[in-house]
Structures are given as structure tokens and as C-alpha cells.
Amino acid sequence: MKAYACVYRHPDPPRRDRLRTEQKAERNAMLRKYLNAYDREDCWYDWGDDPSFFVATEVLGSPNRATWGVCRRDVRASLAVGDFVVFFCGRQAGRGHWEYYYVGVGTVGARLSRELIWTDDRYLDYRGFFNILARPVNGVLAQKETIHEFHDDWANRCTAPYVVFDPDRSRFNLTDPVHVASYIRDRDSVEAWRTGDDRVVRIEKLVLPDPPRTRGLRSVNLQVAHPKMNLDSQARRAGGHEKLREELIMLVFG
């Protein structure tokens, strides 16, 4: 079994990307609703909705039915059914200032190709997700993106499966996720965890490597600020992958 911790970002998008996405939203009611939600102070969606917590909630009724299809090609390629990913949201709070929230645990329920999604009507709902990335046209995949900036390397990203999380074995909190850490570039080398909160302390001990350590959710490399974290050693420390997943799921909601 494999497990990873990954950070997705809720940034202030570049003005050009925002304006181009706003233009598309004039003809797309779902996109307009997403942009309205994204602007709220209590929003923890990814810019691009990948993982697709917004559309999964709007179309399928729960963020636990999210999919993952654009980011972390290497992680998606390595995952098998039953593996899991621990997600944190990095929310931009200013230039060089990020706040981190524990959003939850996604257990892989299916690994789909884009071709299968567009030919098998069991997966009809996913065709309208913002993270679908591509669709077949005359037998060849063509780019299909909604939220700017579009990805020049979309074809390479599509070589990894489109991950569908198992709603019965996944838990995501997009209402009031646990605020675990802060990062201010002029002050911190990596994020500073909120150790006055017992639940935060438990999450930190479950997810981060044993000290001494040179990284947290962040690395000191500003070019690769949020590298994936393999949780194999953390799983051994917790008594196995299943035990680690169970403990982390219990911490999603207070």
C-alpha cells in the first residue's frame, strides 16, 4: 500500500488568468458559481478545482466523491486502488504569506483513462468536471480545460490516471478544515505549526517525518515549495497504513 501527503494551493490567481476565466464564466453557470465561491474568505478550493471538491459537491452531492486529474502526475501514476492521499490546502494570505489547512484523506476507488470516461456512460458526470483536462476527438486526445492558466504539458499529465476517490473510505472537510500552520517568507524557512492546538499536534505527529527534519509541508526550495511527501515511514510508526488512515480520518472533523 502507498500513501502520500500533498498540498494543493488556493492562490490569488494572476489577473490575466482570472479575467480569461471570468469571460468563460459568462457562458458557464457552474464556473460562475465556482468563482463566486472561490472569492469567499471561508473557501479552500484549488484554483482549477483539482482535487475537484467544488464540482463533486455540486454535481455528486459530496466532496468525498472528488476526483484528481491534473496535478501531481507522478503521484497519480503510482497510486493503486486502496492507496490514499492526505490533502492540505495552502491558502495565500498575502505576498509570501500562506496559511495551511488539513482538508482530509482520499482513498483511491478507481483509476480511469480519459478515453474510458468519454466512452463509458457510467462516467458521464465526470465529463463536466473542471479537471477533466482532455477528451478524445477523432480518436486522439485533445485539450479540454476551463480555468486559466491552461497547461502546456496537458498531454503528459494525461498519461497518469484520472483518480476517483472512494466516498465510503474518504473524508474531506471543506467547511471548517483544521488550521494547522502558517508560513511568512520573511520569518520562516518552512511553515510553523500551531502547537497550541492538540488536534494540530496529533496531525503533525502523524504526517511529518520524525525529527530532526529539514522540511514540513513546505521545503526550503522556493522553486519546489510543496513537494509530495511519501508516508511509508509515518505508516510504520503508526502501526501500518490502515492504522494511519484511520487515525487521520478521525481528525478530519473535530
Summarised one tens digit per residue, pLDDT across range 112-166 is 999 999 999 999 999 999 999 999 999 999 999 999 999 999 999 999 999 999 9
Which of the four pLDDT bands, split at 50, 70 and 90, describes residue 14?
very high
Residue range 98-112: average pLDDT?
98
Summary mean pLDDT of the chain = 97
Residue range 74-80: average pLDDT?
98
Residue range 18-26: average pLDDT?
98
> What amino acid occupies position 22?
E
Query: Residue 229: pLDDT above 80?
Result: yes
User: Can you give the pLDDT at residue 222?
Assistant: 82
Strands in 56-170 per DSSP E? 67-68, 84-94, 97-112, 133-137, 140-144, 162-165
Residue range 49-75: average pLDDT?
98
- 143, 144, 149, 152: CA torsion to nearest 10: -10
User: Can you give the pLDDT at residue 15?
Assistant: 97
16 vs 51: CA distance, rounded Å: 23
105 vs 87: CA distance, rounded Å: 6
Question: Does the CA dihedral 81-152-117-129 come out positive or negative?
Answer: positive
Report the predicted TM-score, pTM, of the whole model to 2 decimal places.
0.97
User: Can you give the pLDDT at residue 194?
Assistant: 97
> What amino acid occupies position 243?
K
Classify residue 241 by its DSSP letter: H
Q: CA-based diameter of the chain, in Å?
A: 57
Query: Residue 254: pLDDT above 80?
Result: no
Residues in the chain: 254
Cell numbers describing residue 41: 474568505
- Domain range summary for the chain, segments of one domain joined by +: 3-250
User: Can you give the pLDDT at residue 214?
Assistant: 83
Cell numbers describing residue 50: 483539482
Query: Residue 58: pLDDT above 90?
Result: yes
Which of the four pLDDT bands, split at 50, 70 and 90, describes residue 243?
very high
Answer for the pair 177, 89: CB distance below 8 angstroms, yes or no: yes
Instruction: Please give the helix or strand (H or E) that residue 18 lies within, else none.
Output: helix 15-25
Q: Which of 157, 142, 146, 167 is nearest to 69 (CA)?
A: 157
Which of the four pLDDT bands, split at 50, 70 and 90, describes residue 223?
confident
Question: Does the CA dihedral 12-13-19-23 come out positive or negative?
Answer: negative
Helix axes of 241-250 and 198-207: crossing angle, nearest 10 degrees: 160
Query: Residue 212: pLDDT above 90?
Result: no
